[in-house]
């Protein structure tokens, strides 16, 4: 199957539809974003394979189409939506519709030729490597943004170019990570279990899958100590010091912290638990760490039992 070097296709993805345009053409086709529609789209594309198909990262609505196109050996790139929108403004395209967005993505692909996604490896090691790479990209983005604040005009231009490259790579890593989890029966099921808990998003679940493989296989006290959310005594003689968390896996603890911040607002179990501690006089930070431990115990129990979370009947204890 020989791809045409000058043929670039852009696909605007929504929950219901896939709008498809080719660079240099005003025509836009539409397929439904379901199994039948995706099959029809892939069949149409493989009749005369393009050099590259470009989509935006849309929070998961693009994954089935990307997976199907990769299986058909089509070159697919997933780009950051902000980057595509900035490109649209740069070429004077201020209007926004599904058809226009598809044409913009095709033009974006023709002008910038983003790197296609690599073949998807659904192993535990591959997911761990992707999570590590994602964290590295985030760290570099933070560092570059900090440098940009104090940079002169010449250096700022190079920094901004690097930020765009990093954002594009971040979108690619997120897409590959989601597909790797989707392609593994075991990881996909555990991911479903973890994200059934309100507050735990897809990326938090990916971090837990990659960097806490013990989840569900050891006891609650052991998992809390392993992550570093178990309170440690600081006593000597008659002195009773404050309890502090220590050690553990920092990357997992950071992911749990962000999930808990959401959970104490929107998860009824964590919300009630956190506010009960605050009413009892616990400081906000102490109550939040206790809620982190509570969330970890819930997740450990759910993965152990292979069940989805039921907030009114299950608290993992």
pLDDT in tens, 49-61: 999 999 988 877 8
Full DSSP string of 185-227: HHHHHHHHHHHTSTT--HHHHHHHHHH-TTTTTS-HHHHHHHH
What is the pLDDT at residue 312? 59
Write down the residue that tokens 């806490």 correspond to.
Answer: 212
Is there a contact between 78 and 56 (Cβ–Cβ < 8 Å)?
yes
What is the pLDDT at residue 104? 95
How far apart, in whole angstroms, are the C-alpha atoms of residue 90 and residue 180?
34
Residues 6+ away with beta carbon under 8 Å from 34: none
What is the pLDDT at residue 147? 93
Phi-psi sector, 61: left (phi>0), alpha (psi -120 to 50), beta: alpha
Fold (topology level) of 1-117: Nucleotidyltransferase; domain 5 (3.30.420)
What is the pLDDT at residue 250? 82
Is there a contact between 9 and 109 (Cβ–Cβ < 8 Å)?
yes
Residues of the chain with pLDDT under 50: 232-247, 313, 316-317
For 29, phi and psi rounded to 5 degrees?
A: -100, 160
Provide the angle, in degrees to the nearest 10, between the axes of the packed helices 81-90 and 153-183.
140
């Amino acid at each position: 199957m020989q791809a045409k070097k000058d043929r670039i296709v852009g696909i605007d993805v929504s929950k219901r539809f896939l709008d498809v345009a080719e660079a240099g053409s005003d025509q836009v086709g539409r397929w439904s974003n379901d199994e039948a529609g995706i099959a029809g789209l892939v069949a149409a594309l493989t009749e005369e394979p393009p050099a590259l198909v470009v989509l935006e990262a849309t929070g998961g609505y693009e994954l089935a189409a990307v997976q199907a196109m990769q299986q058909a050996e089509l070159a697919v790139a997933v780009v950051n939506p902000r980057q595509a929108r900035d490109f649209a403004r740069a070429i004077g395209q201020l209007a926004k519709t599904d058809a226009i967005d598809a044409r913009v993505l095709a033009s974006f692909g023709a002008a910038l030729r983003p790197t296609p996604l690599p073949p998807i490896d659904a192993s535990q090691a591959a997911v761990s490597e992707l999570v590590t790479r994602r964290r590295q990209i985030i760290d570099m983005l933070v560092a570059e943004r900090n440098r940009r604040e104090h940079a002169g005009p010449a250096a700022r231009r190079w920094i901004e170019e690097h930020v765009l490259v990093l954002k594009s790579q971040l979108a690619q890593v997120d897409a590959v990570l989601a597909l790797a989890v989707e392609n593994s029966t075991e990881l996909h099921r555990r991911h479903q279990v973890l994200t059934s808990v309100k507050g735990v998003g897809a990326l938090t679940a990916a971090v837990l899958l990659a960097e806490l493989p013990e989840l569900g296989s050891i006891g609650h006290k052991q998992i809390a100590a392993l992550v570093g959310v178990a309170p440690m005594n600081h006593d000597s003689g008659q002195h009773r010091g404050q309890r502090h968390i220590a050690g553990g896996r920092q990357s997992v603890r950071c992911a749990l912290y962000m999930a808990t911040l959401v959970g104490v607002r929107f998860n009824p179990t964590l919300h009630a638990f956190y506010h009960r501690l605050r009413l009892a006089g616990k400081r906000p930070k102490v109550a939040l760490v206790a809620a982190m431990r509570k969330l970890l115990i819930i997740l450990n129990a759910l993965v152990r039992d292979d069940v989805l979370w039921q907030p009114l009947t299950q608290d993992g204890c």
